[in-house]
Chain A
Amino acid sequence: MFDPSVITDNAALLWQGLLVTLLYTVATIATGLLIGFAIGLAQLSRILPIRMFGRVYVEFFRNIPLLVILLWSYYALPIFLHVNITKAWAGYLSLSFYIGAFYAEILRAGVEGIDPGQSDAATALGMSSGQRMRRVILPQAIRRMLPPLVGQSIIQMKNTTLLSAITVPDLLYQGSYISSFTYKPMEVYSAVAAIFLIILVPLTALARRMEGPHARIH
């Protein structure tokens, strides 16, 4: 029997969990965008060491599972550095660095996808490399980048559930907690899944609509 009272009785805990999930989602997306922008530009740099740094960063964070990054930064990094790292900081930084690598790849691909003739035309008019990037390349690239950026951000919200592994009280963590004293995993985990669906289905639809007409501009 499905017992909805488990959910209504513990709505406050679920609500708190949801706020934590949303907080980490928004904060790590914002920080990740800054990191991704910097690393993406580094990957496009004409200066080899900077370009290599960008490449190494991206491959490093894309090839370690996020769960490993989270556990490592919370349990192993403090031992290496002899400092105390709270689970909040470990979670925030891990998720930010991780998604930054994916945003950087989206930026790089977006810029490299622009016809080289655009850069030629801007160069021939006497524009500097900075002006070419700001006035000609990025405005076109960002339009193409929006759908994959939204898609990656949706994945990021789902990835925050891994925070429960380092006991950050996110939505999934609160669900597990409720389930542990009510013995009603069916109701609780169904509720957690439903909350994600309610938030992410409209965003996914939005991302799909953005892919439509915008992708056809060029």
Chain B
Amino acid sequence: MPASIEPADILSIDHLNLRYGNRQILRDISLSVRQGEVVVLLGASGCGKTSLLRSINLLTQPQSGRITIGGEAIFDRSEQGVDRLRLGAKQIERIRARTGMVFQQFNLFPHMSVLRNVAEAPVIVGGMTRDQAEQEARDLLLQLGMEAHAEKRPAQLSGGQQQRVAIARALAMKPAVMLFDEPTSALDPELVGEVLRAMVALARSGMTMVIVTHELGLAFEIADRVVFLDGGEIAADGPPAEILLAPKHPRVASFVARFHESIDMLKPFLETA
């Protein structure tokens, strides 16, 4: 790609506000994500990072702001609460399907086989034939190393395997951007690796990704940008090395201190290895 062409914004969020009752969850958030960019959202529990992720595809309805996915606005409301955009449910569903979402608890459909979990939405939402959708679903399961489990039910799989199926299910709708909501937080430690490897492979393939995670290692490995949320506001936004290794904001510094400590403790072992 010639360097002169700037990749387009796949996702842009402008002046987003979200309240639950009197509690301000997100305060005037603005964030753009370019094609192929991997953004990791960090922050303490309750800082609003999951709410921000869920606002992007309107699983959570913000109070005001503007959200654009693939150049098309899905939400636009003034601070006074006046809708500048009125979309029907059909249009919202169409734009929303451009985002793929992976959840902390996997949320696979327990009454469907693995294959059906992946192929269902392309058929009933995307209008694909069942044969075509199942063929593509098998290809995706192959990519994620789950092809041998296509006929099983989710309950027969480990957490890591379920999460890989959930990634395949989201990819089946050919999304422009993938949203990950703490995808490894519910996993036993020995199962985290297989999911992280799948995410690294996806990032290397050029997928645009927004990831809420506590895995700072993942942020170093694949993030182009780290966005640190504190009290519903963006406290820092920049390349992972800058944000995590030389934090300027005191809250970011205290957040990453724990990580630095664990690295220091590991150092002697890493050097002998």
User: Is A22 located at the chain interface by the 8 A CB criterion?
Assistant: no
Which residue of chain A is the closest to B121 with respect to CB atoms?
Answer: A125
Per-residue interface assignment for chain B, residues 85 to 99, with 1 indicating a CB less than 8 Å from any chain A CB and 0 otherwise: 000011001101101
CB interface residues, A 106-146, toward B, < 8 Å: 115, 117-118, 120-129, 131, 135-136, 139-140, 143
Pairwise interchain contact B101-A124, C-beta atoms closer than 8 A? yes
Pairwise interchain contact B103-A120, C-beta atoms closer than 8 A? yes
Residues of chain A lying within 8 A (CB to CB) of residue B30: none
Given A120-B107, A218-B110, does the pair A127, B101 have CB atoms closer than 8 Å? no
Pairwise interchain contact B110-A140, C-beta atoms closer than 8 A? yes
Residues of chain A lying within 8 A (CB to CB) of residue B94: 126
| Chain B binding surface SS class | mixed
Given A120-B107, A131-B125, A135-B124, does the pair A125, B169 have CB atoms closer than 8 Å? yes
Which residue of chain A is the closest to B169 with respect to CB atoms?
Answer: A125
Pairwise interchain contact A118-B107, C-beta atoms closer than 8 A? yes
Residues of chain B lying within 8 A (CB to CB) of residue A1: none
CA–CA, A121 to B103, complex, Å? 8
Pairwise interchain contact A120-B59, C-beta atoms closer than 8 A? yes
Residues of chain A lying within 8 A (CB to CB) of residue B59: 120, 123-124
Per-residue interface assignment for chain B, residues 37 to 67, with 1 indicating a CB less than 8 Å from any chain A CB and 0 otherwise: 0000000000000000000010100000000
CA–CA, A74 to B169, complex, Å? 57
Q: Contact check: which of B105, B110, B111, B125 meets A125 at CB < 8 Å?
A: B125
CA–CA, A140 to B154, complex, Å? 14
CA–CA, A117 to B107, complex, Å? 6
Pairwise interchain contact B155-A125, C-beta atoms closer than 8 A? no
Interchain nearest-CB distance for B74 vs A (Å): 12
Residues of chain A lying within 8 A (CB to CB) of residue B134: none
CA–CA, A61 to B242, complex, Å? 66
Closest 8 CB pairs of A and B: A126-B97, A121-B107, A124-B101, A125-B121, A117-B107, A126-B125, A126-B93, A139-B111
Chain A interface (Cβ within 8 Å of chain B)?
115, 117-118, 120-129, 131, 135-136, 139-140, 143, 217-218
